[in-house]
Amino acid sequence: MSRIGKKPVELPSGVTASVSGQTVEVKGPKGTRTFTATDDVTITLEENTVKVDPRGKSKRARQQWGMSRTQIQNLVTGVTDGFKKELEINGVGYRAQMQGNTLKLNLGYSHDVDFIVPEGVTVTAPKPTQIVVEGADQQLVGQVAANIREWRKPEPYKGKGIKYVDEYIFRKEGKR
């Protein structure tokens, strides 16, 4: 029995949802998001809640039950609050700045790295050593943050590179 799937998804004020077949569309102040569930679950809309129930007792139906409920909850969170990832840059001379729709990164290479921000995501650089990625789509926000981090991952000796704010870098001692 899925403990997550049993809980209905509450729709806060200002958010509307519509269900047509297996597709859920959620509209809110930060945009519109959709999710299409598999045929293993039934999605119903009751007043201001969205309820997900499994079709049958198979293992796949139970797996999709909790996953579908979480995906719908993420849609609601995305259109109300949005998602946010913060990155921190460590290293001498490493810095970032926004120029229009392009994030310019100085990461110790012989050239500057130009990262073009995709549609649906907002990237800001409040400080030269800080990058904030925000958007309504959790997967897209995480992917953009991972793509930026990929340019210079933090290294274990001095901790130089781009890391998430809440990330812990295991440090090594180095040569003696």
Name, in order, each residue with C-beta under 8 angstroms of 43's C-beta and a sequence gap of 6 or more.
Answer: 19, 22, 24, 37, 50, 51, 52, 68, 72
pTM here is: 0.88
Enter the tokens of residue 157: 């000796």
What's the pLDDT tens digit per position in 109-148? 999 999 999 999 999 999 999 999 999 999 999 999 999 9
CATH of domain 83-164: 3.90.930.12
What's the pLDDT tens digit per position in 31-40? 999 999 999 9
Relative to beta strand 130-135, strand 161-164 is unpaired
The mean per-residue pLDDT over the stretch 50-63 comes to: 91
Q: Where are the domains of the chain?
A: 3-80, 83-164
Contact 159, 171 (CB under 8 A): yes
CA-CA distance, 82 to 46, in Å (whole number)? 24
CATH 3.90.930.12 fits 3-80, yes or no: yes
